[in-house]
């Protein structure tokens, strides 16, 4: 994937009551992720995704930053039969445009930003039930939440960790480097 | 690769004048690597392997721990025409037995140890010139160093980072979990 992506929006999950993010003007990234975001930390407790460890075991945090694409959000919306899926509802930190295959980016690929900031792709963000409930609340269609996981498979974007600290802004061009 | 490996030896690079390691009874691993080892750190300066960053840029340290296999060390020795390649000469921290394909382990594979310690495979350790010079010094054959890089390709083992802290001992069984 030797294409250039554009940052359309950057977002922060700084409300402790929800994973839903809100748009901000820019995000600082440190080696533990985005300060102030709920996923910030050098370590994080293992959850059901890391079932090789007992739940709650402190492990290296490789799920610091969530990225989704405009094209894939549109595909999820079409698959669910709704007008729009907002990246905030998915808890995304970065929305990019320029690819309908972001979710296929292999673990180990690097994302480079204009100021030298570098992220490491840690692989596909497997869909879970949380965003479906947010989407159901928005559209007020009982049972809609059950459509999310199948609709978002291979379209829900990637999780990344920070390789080089810096900041990321709306409008940034993103270079992808495969390993 | 659903096979079980055995830790034959654990080693530390604690002499600041060389990357060559020495055998120890066990190694502690923390989120930044092995305390006291030259590759320990949450951050490390980028070198020629990370040429997407200016040399010396501080980046996440994904090259904390080097692992080689008995079988692949034998193959390097055969390829170079020498009786033996010691893991210490390669700067290895862990020598395992049980596979001649350790170097092919994909990035993202997990290595689990008996006390729950977990390492993340960060991929192949690309051969560089340093070990060739050590091997030439040992065998006192002028020019032998030039054989190392071609002889070690796809046989030089992997680099890992720490996912879960703990300790690793000679005799430990290692479970491999693919992503």
pLDDT in tens, B95-127: 999 999 999 999 889 999 999 999 999 999 988
Q: Cβ B163–A60 below 8 Å, yes or no?
A: yes
Write down the pTM of the prediction.
Answer: 0.91
Phi and psi at A129, nearest 5°, equal -80, -20
Q: How confident is the model at residue B1 (pLDDT cuts 50, 70, 90)?
A: low
Does A126 reach chain B within 8 Å, measured CB to CB? no
Q: How far is A138 from chain B (nearest CA, A)?
A: 34
Asked whether A17 and A82 are in contact (CB, 8 A), the reply is: no
Q: How far is A169 from chain B (nearest CA, A)?
A: 20
What residues pair up with B144 in beta bridges, in sequence order? none
Q: How confident is the model at residue B56 (pLDDT cuts 50, 70, 90)?
A: very high
Would you state the pLDDT for residue A143?
96
Q: How many domains does chain A have?
A: 1
Express as a percent the part of chain A with pLDDT over 70.
99
- Beta strands at B158-164 and B65-69: parallel, antiparallel or unpaired: antiparallel
Q: Cβ B43–A31 below 8 Å, yes or no?
A: yes
pLDDT in tens, A5-54: 999 999 999 999 999 999 999 999 999 999 999 999 999 999 988 889 99
User: For residue A77, what is the domain's CATH number?
Assistant: 2.40.33.20
Strands (E), chain B: 4-12, 22-24, 26-29, 43-45, 58-60, 65-69, 94-97, 110-112, 118-124, 158-164, 166-169, 173-177
Which one, of A174, A158, A9, A157, lies nearest residue A75 by Cα? A157
- A2, pLDDT greater than 70: no
Question: Which chain B residues touch A161 with a CB distance below 8 Å?
Answer: 60
Which residue range(s) make up the domain with B135?
A: 4-177
Which one, of B44, B116, B111, lies nearest residue A58 by Cα? B116
Shortest CA distance from A33: residue in chain B: B60
Q: Cβ B42–A53 below 8 Å, yes or no?
A: no
Shortest CA distance from A122: residue in chain B: B108
pLDDT in tens, B62-102: 999 999 999 999 999 999 999 999 999 999 999 999 999 99
Express as a percent the part of chain B with pLDDT over 70.
99
pLDDT in tens, A91-144: 999 999 999 999 999 988 999 999 999 999 999 998 888 999 999 999 999 999
Checking ipTM against 0.95, whether it exceeds it is: no
Would you state the pLDDT for residue B49?
83
- Exposure on the CB side of residue A4, measured as CA atoms within 13 A: 6
pLDDT in tens, B136-160: 999 999 999 999 999 999 999 999 9
């Amino acid at each position: 994937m030797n294409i250039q992506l554009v940052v359309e929006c950057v977002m922060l999950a700084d409300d402790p009551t929800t994973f839903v993010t809100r748009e901000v003007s820019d995000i600082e990234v440190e080696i533990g992720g985005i300060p102030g975001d709920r996923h910030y930390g050098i370590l994080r407790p293992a959850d059901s995704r890391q079932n090789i460890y007992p739940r709650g075991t402190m492990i290296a945090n490789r799920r610091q930053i969530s990225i989704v694409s405009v094209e894939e959000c549109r595909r999820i919306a079409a698959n669910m039969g709704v007008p729009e899926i907002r990246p905030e509802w998915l808890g995304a930190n970065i929305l990019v445009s320029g690819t309908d295959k972001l979710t296929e980016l292999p673990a180990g690929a690097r994302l480079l930003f204009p100021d030298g900031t570098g992220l490491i792709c840690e692989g596909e963000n497997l869909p879970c039930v949380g965003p479906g409930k947010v989407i159901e609340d928005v559209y007020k269609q009982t049972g809609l939440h059950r459509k999310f996981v199948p609709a978002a498979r291979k379209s829900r974007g990637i999780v990344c960790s920070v390789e080089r600290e810096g900041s990321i802004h709306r409008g940034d061009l993103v270079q992808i480097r495969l390993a």
